[in-house]
Amino acid sequence: MADREPADRELMQRHVDGDPDAFGELVSRHRDRLWAVALRTLRDPDEAADALQDALVSAFRRAGSYRGDAAVTTWLHRIVVNACLDRARRQAVRRAQPLPDDDHHGAAGLSPTPRDAVESVAEDTARRDAVLTALRELAPEQRAALVLVDMEGYSVNEAAQILDCPAGTVKSRCSRGRAQLLPLLGAWAPGAADRAVMEPIPAEGRPNRTASRPSQPEQEVT
């Protein structure tokens, strides 16, 4: 008879009690969905990988603070979303700062796309990219709410637990975010906009450096 698969809460307790493998098993169980949330919230794979790694290290060290008032996966998502929101806010500040007059990196970084390549891009890929690009223009809190509810399929109440705010706030953020997305989607609005937001978006290639468990800190959680 196969061994029973331990529940998330059991793995969390094992980790707190000093089991060196429990946290890695817990993270591997939920890593793909945590990665998808980070990537869709930040869009930049490097930023998303850094945010996820920071979040996992934080979760590793703060495991003793988990009180069981929410599911372990909700607790993990909350830490990941907060790490992403911190980075998104810093990105917004950087974008708001004017570039120096002699900065040429932006122009140099833009290279024309071959005509054949443009014509070969599938419609669903173009729609996905349009949505993800438009999401970056929203306030970080609205972006996180839309990612959780419209892309990851969480209920409003579940998203409220992850974001640590009232359900009504999540509904308001989603409603305002959708309204702001419409003009940003250009040719994809209005008919395709709802389909684009609601359609699940496959996570892009995961950087190899996003490990299933973070490096052990110098002192273990007690």
Which residue did the predictor score with more confidence, 75 or 103? 75
**How would CATH label the architecture of 7-95?**
Orthogonal Bundle (1.10)
Quote the percentage of the chain above a pLDDT of 70.
64
Residue 150: the pLDDT is 87
Please report, for the chain, the start and end positions of each structural domain, with discontinuous segments joined by +: 7-95, 122-201
Q: What is the pTM of this model?
A: 0.65
pLDDT at 219 over 80: no
Q: What is the pLDDT of residues 105-156, one digit of tens each?
A: 333 333 334 444 344 334 556 667 777 778 888 888 998 999 999 888 899 9
CATH topology for 122-201 is Arc Repressor Mutant, subunit A (1.10.10)
Give the model's confidence band at 202: pLDDT under 50 very low, under 70 low, under 90 confident, else very high.
very low
Contact 196, 187 (CB under 8 A): no
